[in-house]
Structure 1
């Protein structure tokens, strides 16, 4: 993509965004949409602030992520307005003046103090104000009307070409980080050292990355959200699981890979089997597919692998029905992704609200909608050897369905997860992650 493409894609995206906002405001009976960018949070009994996170409803409109105290105003039939806080400050870096392909579509007002925004906001009584309570300014207190939020969040699942392009850029960052992290692992680095190598290659630190990096060696791979990052490498280093992403203009990528230290050992063969199953699941990201069924299909595929490797003795269908497969694959298959890593409205029945239930016995699934063109989802099956869940399995009625000697052989490796970001289209799915690795 060339620089000439961005203005065209953004203009098309903004037209779609305005159309959605028009419908959402009409649904809620409001005249204006007002969105604060958010403010800094401070720690209790201290003057230290938490890392600033922009309001997702604000960055929906603009590729701005580090502008606290600003406001977005939209009234149907008019140009959107950006009230941009550029304070006079010598303690901190002041946000640069607005620039880029998007600015020609906005009326931009620069203010020097937060209170200067007030004359540039419409009468509060007719506004749908989307934000957190501490963003309140005078009469402008976020009311987050449910009808407006439901409509906007439901339709945010359908990504435009502009948004896919933003996610491609985020993926390029993530892939650079992943390749550097694997090299660091092969060179014998610690979890902390691998994390630093990732950040250096991705060009982003913990405040810019879309989520905290999971960098796990050996048995730490069995901790689903492991973030301790040991300072010394284990001896020996058997395996490496990394779940880490990147950001671009407020959009995220979410990538997980698992590696064995010895490409010839059985754990590498198990990784290869999970990778094959993962790619088959990615190929099923098609319009009309119920994501809940895809999740259950993942259980069947992973149970078949466990049986093939002698870990369980049950047929896949029995492993799913009895809950044995959940002891090795306890989380959901994936989630929507875009402006947020775990994007909103994953359970939405319609743009008027309501929820689609999760399959019984699968409480951690984050997406239950039927897939449609434009949706971007993660596909992240995994097999783990988690002491807590294995102990529960050993004490339960299906203990004899497991070969415990095989469990002991794999336990020191922790676990396996493979994750890609996949776009549902009118035809073949588009795997942004595999595309990114191939390009690199």
Structure 2
């Protein structure tokens, strides 16, 4: 950490401690106890699933490869870290705790997972223990009390300046990797080859990345979460959709870009039209805006693109009301992002619980809250020509409103998605972490 980041981290910890004090009071507990998580052994196999740190743990410390450790936070006291550094000659042992963050904790190093029990609070019944069931140790069985989780998850939507800086650092890696992916695409690489170029540029492998890379050539771009990674490139190459992020200190970025192999063609024109919609929508990500309305506005704008491209004949309002726009744009406009790619608290009505409903007919929207300063959210409109959805549309009462020749001409290109990560500001337009980094690295 730099000196500036260290100061941000200290303030971040102070915020977590304030939130924790209120959350514990809400739940009637004295202490927060958070296991870092444990590896999962695959059934009928002799290896583990990739380890993923408990987000409630890595919110406090930038440790993502330390299973078997524990965080203990009691209001009015310094937080404690029980750090597992086992005797092990089969695997790499975590290095001794180091970094500016260490000075903020009372750190105890243990040599076995069971030894941690000696250093946990005496009375587990007075603890809110946040984690998965298999992290249980003695009486310390995760109870995940709802009042505590509701409060912490709701407020996790408001990122501290430290968290925004960590997401920005992740974005530096992500943008560098996206540029490498485009170069590999234009050199004729396969999906697998593009994925490897991405990982190399990010300096992270599939286990380090915050989610499985979506690297989709041609019609594969119509599969929203395509992760097949064909080893041989299709002929001819038409398009590339890359939805891939990167991680830094436990935080994620989430970026999508779409490229046409033939510059200046009709698919390139459609990409540019979606990009204009995306940038126009970016300005809507302001404090006080209902995120659900942004989603509906995206449908209207994308329906306008489809009409202008000759794909649909109906007015945008009719396309939205009838559900036709959802056949071409079937997912939500975005989600919160931070410790998780799809961060928690997206539907929370308040820090005491409750749910803000999704708009009727839009089941896949992941965020329904009103945007407020400090929130970091994605904006990812898209247009797709997915065979299943096109078939449903062809069999619907609205089939006559579609130019099926245009659909067939565009179907081999798959789809388009453009995604940026935005920080909602106190006033005015949001900070666009993604385009900021693309612009900075252009030279």
State the TM-score, normalized to the length of structure 1.
0.99
Paired residue secondary structure (2:244) = strand
2:435 is the counterpart of 1:439: no
- Match in the other structure for 1:422: 422
Q: How does 1:211-360 map to 2 (within 5 A)?
A: 211-360=211-360
- Residues 83-103 of structure 1 show CA distances to partners (whole Å, capped at 9, x for unaligned) of 000000000000011111111
- Please give the alpha-carbon distance, in whole angstroms, between the structure 1 residues aligned to 2:48 and 2:235: 38
Residues paired across the two proteins, number = 439
2:117 is the counterpart of 1:121: no
- Please give the alpha-carbon distance, in whole angstroms, between the structure 2 residues aligned to 1:264 and 1:33: 57
- Match in the other structure for 2:95: 96
* Deviation, structure 1 residue 125: 1.4
Contact 1:6 1:101 in 2 (8 A): no
- Residues 94-152 of structure 1 show CA distances to partners (whole Å, capped at 9, x for unaligned) of 00111111110000000000111112111201000000000000000000000000000
Paired residue secondary structure (2:231) = coil
* Deviation, structure 1 residue 48: 0.7
- Match in the other structure for 1:47: 46
- Match in the other structure for 1:149: 149
- Match in the other structure for 2:104: 105
- Match in the other structure for 2:180: 180
- Please give the alpha-carbon distance, in whole angstroms, between the structure 1 residues aligned to 2:2 and 2:353: 38
- Please give the alpha-carbon distance, in whole angstroms, between the structure 2 residues aligned to 1:285 and 1:97: 42
* Deviation, structure 1 residue 219: 0.3
- Stretches of structure 2 lacking an aligned partner (at least 5 in a row): none
- Match in the other structure for 2:84: 85
* Deviation, structure 1 residue 323: 0.4
- Match in the other structure for 1:190: 190
- Please give the alpha-carbon distance, in whole angstroms, between the structure 2 residues aligned to 1:268 and 1:414: 13
Paired residue secondary structure (2:83) = strand
- Residues 33-70 of structure 1 show CA distances to partners (whole Å, capped at 9, x for unaligned) of 00000001001122210000000100010100000000
- Please give the alpha-carbon distance, in whole angstroms, between the structure 2 residues aligned to 1:70 and 1:408: 55
- Please give the alpha-carbon distance, in whole angstroms, between the structure 2 residues aligned to 1:180 and 1:330: 29
State the TM-score, normalized to the length of structure 2.
0.99
Paired residue secondary structure (2:100) = coil
Moved beyond 2 Å, runs of 4+: none
2:63 is the counterpart of 1:64: yes
- Please give the alpha-carbon distance, in whole angstroms, between the structure 1 residues aligned to 2:419 and 2:93: 37
- Match in the other structure for 1:4: 3
- Stretches of structure 1 lacking an aligned partner (at least 5 in a row): none
- Residues 400-424 of structure 1 show CA distances to partners (whole Å, capped at 9, x for unaligned) of 0100010011001000000000000
* Deviation, structure 1 residue 264: 1.0
- Residues 334-366 of structure 1 show CA distances to partners (whole Å, capped at 9, x for unaligned) of 000000000001000000000000000000000
Name whichever of 45-54 and 85-94 sits farther off.
45-54
- Please give the alpha-carbon distance, in whole angstroms, between the structure 2 residues aligned to 1:249 and 1:14: 14
- Please give the alpha-carbon distance, in whole angstroms, between the structure 1 residues aligned to 2:76 and 2:118: 20
- Match in the other structure for 2:15: 16
- Please give the alpha-carbon distance, in whole angstroms, between the structure 2 residues aligned to 1:16 and 1:106: 15
CA RMSD of aligned residues (A): 0.6
* Deviation, structure 1 residue 232: 0.6
Contact 1:221 1:416 in 2 (8 A): yes
- Please give the alpha-carbon distance, in whole angstroms, between the structure 1 residues aligned to 2:23 and 2:314: 50
- Please give the alpha-carbon distance, in whole angstroms, between the structure 2 residues aligned to 1:285 and 1:98: 39
* Deviation, structure 1 residue 7: 1.1
Paired residue secondary structure (2:173) = helix
